[in-house]
Amino acid sequence: MDFELPEEYQAFRDTVRRWVDNEAPKDWARNLEMDEHNYPFALWDKFTEAGFHGVGISEDYDGQGGDVVMQMLLARELARTLGGLAWIWGITSFAGSKSIGLYGSEDQKAKFLPEIANGRLKAAIAFTEPAGGTDLLGAMATTAEKVDGGWVLNGEKIWSSSAHVADYLLVIARSDKSVEKKHQGLTLFWVPTTTDGMKITPLAKLGMRSMGSCSIHFDNAFVADDAVLGEPDKAWYMLLPTLNNERIMVGAFCLGVIDGVLEDALDYMQQRKAFGGIIGRFQSLQHYLADIATMQKTTELMLHYCADKQRRGQKVGVEANMLKLMASENANKAADLGIQILGGMGYSAETDMQRYWRDSRLWRIGPITNEMVRNGIAESLGLPRSF
């Protein structure tokens, strides 16, 4: 079994790594993240100039091409310096290019994919319900009523990142209440943010601050029939494959965070002096660093395993859950150890450890909590459903 990336992937990774070092260094990213009231349009524009929005989109639609492995390499390299700000690329990649590319009609693909690939369209995901969290299906209160020429949306979504600057929202709503099972009767909509009857409100939060997250209120918001993605009432069946992609993407972002943590911790240990020499000679700190390096390697192996399985069209649901679980806990633990290694400077806003910790903390909660991930893994092993 060969664990090495083919040359074309290595070349792409190295190109992105050089771009990140030159165009999005850690000090620049740190300053962007501090400005929680301003979305980092400059970062979006840099992604546009580099062609990153087109990665994963077919050249037939002005994209750069590339498969899931290439997307994960990009996600990892971006997160190494940007941390959670890498979601600036990831959200539109998932909500827009992945969803339109999989569920969209030919007309929708021709209309929207070139706009996404060329950085002219920003998207956001509006799935989570205020009263539900991970219980998306059980708490689904947002409704879509069929009317002449379209649909009327009513309800509320929360934690929709970048919705306040998005052009379109990927919205899931209950379109049929007379169903036997909760996953039935759901429809996916591609909703313009200029829609009347829709209000978007930014929310304060711990990490990924300048990217922004929002609540969204739908009050008799009308959307035309051409806003439906795929077949009405069948959204959940369509979404399942992309949920695996999202969890693999989270794994890649988490691995990038571990990369950044390891770089900073090692550099600090080799330069910081205390008690007559560099702190890198202290055994306890060496153990912390060894743990971070081990987390990095194990997460990397699992990421490439999952991405390659998905690339080959194999089932990867359980493994994607395992990756999301392991990667998010590794990233957050690594960042916490990084803070400990840096001591007071790790707690300071002048370094990146606190940013890595705050950003990675979210991935233990979303897009699905690690507790629910563990439930799913246990169920896959033959145990009874626990929720």
Domains within the chain, CATH numbers bracketed: 7-121 (1.10.540.10), 124-233 (2.40.110.10), 236-380 (1.20.140.10)
By 3-state DSSP, what share of the chain in percent is helix, strand and coil, each rounded to 5?
55, 15, 30
Strands 123-126 and 168-174: parallel
Q: Taking 80 as the threshold, does the pLDDT of residue 36 lie above it?
A: no
Within 10 angstroms of residue 12's Cβ, the number of other Cβ atoms is 20
> What span, in angstroms and rounded, lies between the C-alpha atoms of 338 and 25?
19
Are the C-beta atoms of residues 185 and 176 closer than 8 Å to each other? yes
Are the C-beta atoms of residues 40 and 88 closer than 8 Å to each other? yes
Contacts 24+ apart (CB under 8 A), 192-199: 192/167, 192/168, 192/223, 192/227, 193/163, 193/166, 193/167, 193/168, 193/169, 195/221, 195/222, 195/223, 196/221, 196/222, 197/153, 197/221, 197/222, 198/153
> What span, in angstroms and rounded, lies between the C-alpha atoms of 54 and 61?
9
Q: Taking 70 as the threshold, does the pLDDT of residue 256 lie above it?
A: yes
Segment 237-250 shows an average pLDDT of: 88
Written as six digits, the tokens of 185 are: 């009767």
Residues in the chain: 387
Calculate the average pLDDT of the chain.
Answer: 95
Q: Measured over all CA atoms, what is the biggest interatomic distance in the chain, rounded to whole angstroms?
A: 79
> What pLDDT shows up at residue 134?
84
Q: Where is pLDDT greater, at 149 or 240? A: 149
Q: Taking 80 as the threshold, does the pLDDT of residue 1 lie above it?
A: no
Q: Helices 317-342 and 353-362 meet at what angle, rounded to 10?
A: 150
Share of the chain above pLDDT 90, in %: 87
Contacts 24+ apart (CB under 8 A), 21-26: 21/81, 23/50, 24/78, 24/81, 24/82, 25/81, 26/81, 26/260, 26/264, 26/352
Q: In the structure, what pLDDT confidence band is assigned to residue 130 with cuts at 50, 70 and 90?
A: very high
Written as six digits, the tokens of 118 are: 């060329």
Are the C-beta atoms of residues 116 and 240 closer than 8 Å to each other? no
Segment 254-270 shows an average pLDDT of: 98
289-325 tens-digit pLDDT: 999 999 999 999 999 999 999 999 999 999 999 999 9
